[in-house]
Amino acid sequence: MWSTLTATASSTPHDWAVVGEFMRGEPLRSSDWAGVTVPTLVVAGGKSDPLLRTAARAIADVLPDAEHLEVPKLSHDPDVNLLVPAAAEFLTGRRTPPSSATEATVAGAITPVSAVAASAARISVLAGAGFAITLLGLHVLEPEFDPTWRFISEYALGGVGWLMGIAFVALATSLVGAGVAIFSQVRSVVGYLGLAVLGIGALGLVIAAIFAADPITTSREAATFSGNMHVLGASLDYTPVAALVLSFVLARKAAWRPIRRRLFVTSGITVVAMVAFILMLPVDGTFGPGVLAGLFGRLLVLSYLGWLLTVGFHVMNLRRHFAGQETAPAPAGRHRRNVHRSTGARRSTDWATGRNLERERPANIAADSNRTKRAVKVRI
């Protein structure tokens, strides 16, 4: 082992000159890495030292377009049988059905977005925008309803009340579209739970669209069947909870990491708006001027749009990304990559066939089972 270390000792000053500034235990600065615009795969071994795994996550977080992948059976000692499938999938954009739990982890780094999901995202965005425009228009068409304390549901009681029904259906469509758009991205128990809550909320909005609300000043004893059904539908809408749960699930995905802050901010705003609305409801059930439940109710439903638009636009962007990979012409001949190690060995590797990298390693290094290996730098 000592002979191996002395053989590579001459490279140590150069290594330190490059990485020394980033090995002081300080947080990495995004500005230092902003120029790395190429897609990057950061691979860590599940059996590596926690310090190295933390470093891998840290660099993946600051790179503009990076995916972090932790291979459970891999250690700091590289194993090409574990590295090649991950690198080949990343470099070629090809996916194969996993044959083991380890391969499933490797293959699960990114889930492609289908054309159906992209169409659903587009519908979600358009329907959400339609809801907002219709609701704002009702404020102009039916000014008799004071927006500070009258609920938006009461617009259904005005001269163009049918527009409120359309608005509710549009919002329900936006929720369903978002759920369909991210269905393939949230395949977990928690993710399915979030989708279920989102779907129930959409169902509640449809019920609210079918059954007109009673005036907010109506007592419980005088409430109509339609009014009670409307209240039932409205009580099923817990979109803020669904948005927050789904944001946590999506933020764990490599493809969603670049917008995870937006996911949490927009979903967090919906939760805050929901709590504020609940606090504005009068304890004695008496509504009138000065009770701001109507205003906070409007802010609540409009806050949904921030999260819905964030999700919808990102799904469409992902679809364009994957569609570009699928339609890009393959280069003529065999796919070859140059692989460099800090030992100075240089060779070409055929990722398409998965040729064994080890057989071209210098014999004096291959024979030493305790050798020190450096990270593999792949250049396309």
Same domain, 316 and 349: no
Cα four-point dihedral sign 94, 100, 105, 106: negative
**pLDDT for the residue 327:** 52
Average the pLDDT over 186-215 and give the result.
Answer: 95
284, 309, 327 — which closes off a domain? 327
**Domain span at residue 209?**
115-327
- The candidate with the shortest Cα–Cα distance to 181, out of 191, 189, 168, is 191
Which residue has better confidence, 210 or 335? Answer: 210
Average the pLDDT over 342-352 and give the result.
Answer: 33
Which residue has better confidence, 105 or 115? Answer: 115
Same domain, 249 and 296: yes
Average the pLDDT over 141-169 and give the result.
Answer: 94
Q: What pTM was computed for the model? A: 0.61
Structure tokens at 265: 């901010």
Does 184 have pLDDT greater than 70?
yes
Place of tokens 């450096």: 374
Same domain, 82 and 119: no
Which stretch of 179-188, 287-296, 302-311, 365-374 has the lowest confidence by average pLDDT? Answer: 365-374
Same domain, 337 and 323: no
Same domain, 15 and 132: no
Tally of domains in the chain: 2
Same domain, 249 and 337: no
**pLDDT for the residue 93:** 66
Same domain, 147 and 70: no
Does 347 have pLDDT greater than 60?
no
Give Cβ neighbours of residue 114 (< 8 Å, ≥ 6 apart): 184, 319
Q: Give the pLDDT confidence of 43-90 residue by residue, as tens digits.
A: 888 888 887 888 888 888 888 888 888 888 888 887 877 888 878 888
Same domain, 300 and 345: no
Same domain, 127 and 81: no
Same domain, 293 and 243: yes
Same domain, 188 and 304: yes
Same domain, 230 and 123: yes
309, 327, 345 — which closes off a domain? 327
Q: Give the pLDDT confidence of 220-269 residue by residue, as tens digits.
A: 889 999 999 999 999 999 999 999 999 999 998 888 988 999 999 999 99
The Cα angle at residue 223 between residues 220 and 227, in degrees rounded to 5: 120
